[in-house]
Amino acid sequence: MKEYAYYQGCSLEGTASAYDRSIRLVMKSLGVTIMEPPDWSCCGSTPAHAFDHLLAAALCARNLAIVESMGASALMTPCPSCLSAFKKAQARMAGNELFRKDVNDLLETPYNGTVTAKSALQVLYEDIGPEEAAGPVTIDLAGLRIAPYYGCILNRPPKIAAFDDPENPVSMDRLLTAIGAEVVDFAFKVECCGAAFGVPKRDIVLSLTAKVLSMALDAGANCIAVACPLCQQNLDLRQSQVNRSLGTSFAVPVLYFSQIMGLAYGYTPKEVGLTKNIISADALISPSRPAKKQGVGSG
């Protein structure tokens, strides 16, 4: 029985609630127990580490200490930015005794360095594995041609992320292939989408996002899978802005990989939060709704 402390982070409570919902359903189907740390707080994300490393580490360590007091040794978070914050905090504290003491001095309960933080994708790929992840599949995803987009910080910097290949990751590819989807050879898996420049320099985000969308279509995909709320936002929410600004006519659905897994497991589009996606995936999903896959039971 696998169990993890589950750190949603702020996005999953808000704009990325579909990601949260679909992850919870996927974990339920796979028999993985997830426990929300009581009184969890913000990880600090970009603003904290851009301002003060001590603050950034303390914000994370506070949550990690809570996880420790829960008796859990593994933390799963779907958001790469939260994950990156946790991993950097842990690396700094483990490597520097003085820093560790300074951080722990700021906390009510000190953090003893016993928690392993992983992304949800990492847990599914490394701890559960594509074969077991294919167990609960009951729906045939024929018609779906997916370009998996990993974004920037899921597996970089390589030494901190310690997950998959930094230039050509394959975890999402393999998971999606295992559950019966067709995954295209996508050259822009880790190409920048503009990230948090959406507000201060929107034109950069629009032009970079356009390149990613365009490459996905060139590769023969009809949808993009993501594992990050910011990736999803830039590629999905801003797609109409891209079209207006650059005169393009993209209409590429951008789904969380967990939404796709949920659909394969037999959950309804509503259950996996497809209504929250801006670019509609109805055209792709309805035709592929039919027959139960031959010879695939559950588990």
Partner 1 sequence: MRVGVFICHCGNNIAGTVDVARVAAETRMLPGVVYATDYMYTCSEPGQAEIKKAIRDEGLSRVVVAACSPRMHEVTFRRTVEKAGLNRYLFEMANIREHCSWIGEDREENTRKAVETVRMAVAKVIRNKPLVSSSFPVKKRVLVIGAGVAGMQAALDCADGGLETVVVEKSPSIGGMMARLDKTFPTIDCSICILGPKMVDVAQHELISLHAYSEIEDIKGYVGNYEVKVRKKATYVDWSKCTGCGECMEKCPGKNAYDHFNYGVAPTKAINIPFPQAIPKKARIDREFCRQFIKGKCGVCAKVCPTKAIDYEMADEFVTEEVGAIIVATGYGLLGQEKLPEYGAGRYPDIISGIQYERLLNASGPTQGHILRPSDGAEPKSVVFISCAGSRDRSIGVPYCSNFCCMYIAKQAILTKDHIPDSRSYVFYMDIRASGKGYDEFTRRAQEEYGVRYIRGRVSRIYPKGKKMVVKGADTLLGAQVEVEADLVVLATAAVAAPGAAELAEKLHISYDTNGFYVESHPKLRPVETNTAGVYLAGAAQGPKDIPASVGQGSAAAAKVLSLLSKEMLESDPVIARVNTSACVGCLKCMKTCPFQAIKEESLRGKTVASVIETVCAGCGVCASTCPCGAIQLSHFTDNQILAEVNALCRI
Measured distance CA(47)–CA(56) in Å, rounded: 9
Structure tokens at 16: 């990325």
Q: Which is nearer to partner 1, 154 or 274 (CB)?
A: 154
Closest CA to 116 of 227, 3, 258, 12: 3
Measured distance CA(147)–CA(225) in Å, rounded: 6
Structure tokens at 171: 């975890």
* Least Cβ distance, residue 187 to partner 1 (angstroms): 4
Among 105, 126, 167, 203, binds partner 1 (CB under 8 A): 167
Q: Which is nearer to partner 1, 50 or 162 (CB)?
A: 162
Using N-to-C axis directions, what is the helix angle for 171-178 and 257-264, rounded to 10°? 10
Q: Does 50 engage in binding with partner 1 (CB under 8 A)?
A: no
Tokens 């320099």 locate to 201
Report the sign of the C-alpha dihedral through residues 244, 248, 144, 23, in that order.
negative
Q: Does 187 engage in binding with partner 1 (CB under 8 A)?
A: yes
Region of residue 9 (phi > 0: left; psi between -120 and 50: alpha; otherwise: beta): left
* Least Cβ distance, residue 192 to partner 1 (angstroms): 11
Q: Does 52 engage in binding with partner 1 (CB under 8 A)?
A: no
Q: Which is nearer to partner 1, 36 or 167 (CB)?
A: 167
Q: Which is nearer to partner 1, 107 or 219 (CB)?
A: 219
Among 215, 223, 231, 252, binds partner 1 (CB under 8 A): 215
Residue range at the interface with partner 1 (CB under 8 A); choices 16-24, 108-116, 140-148, 187-195: 187-195
Q: Does 203 engage in binding with partner 1 (CB under 8 A)?
A: no
Measured distance CA(30)–CA(65) in Å, rounded: 27
* Least Cβ distance, residue 190 to partner 1 (angstroms): 10
Q: Does 218 engage in binding with partner 1 (CB under 8 A)?
A: yes
Q: Does 266 engage in binding with partner 1 (CB under 8 A)?
A: no
Helix (H, G, I), strand (E, B) or coil at 298: coil
- The residues, ordered by sequence, that sit 6+ positions from 97 with a Cβ below 8 Å of its Cβ are none
Structure tokens at 230: 């910011």
Q: Does 168 engage in binding with partner 1 (CB under 8 A)?
A: yes
* Least Cβ distance, residue 123 to partner 1 (angstroms): 25
Q: Which is nearer to partner 1, 165 or 203 (CB)?
A: 165
Give the Cβ contact number of residue 245 at 10 Å: 15
Q: Does 188 engage in binding with partner 1 (CB under 8 A)?
A: yes
Q: Which is nearer to partner 1, 96 or 168 (CB)?
A: 168
- CA distances 124 to 143, 190, 244, 252, 284, Å, are 24, 19, 37, 25, 25
Give the Cβ contact number of residue 128 at 10 Å: 18
| Interacting positions 70-129 with partner 1 (CB under 8 A) | none
Residue range at the interface with partner 1 (CB under 8 A); choices 115-123, 161-169, 264-272, 283-291: 161-169
* Least Cβ distance, residue 27 to partner 1 (angstroms): 32
Among 143, 166, 180, 266, binds partner 1 (CB under 8 A): 166
One-letter amino acid at 147 equals: A
Query: How many chain residues bind partner 1 (CB under 8 A)?
Result: 9
Chain centroid to CA 278: how far?
18
Binding footprint of partner 1 on the chain (CB under 8 A): 165-168, 187-188, 191, 215, 218
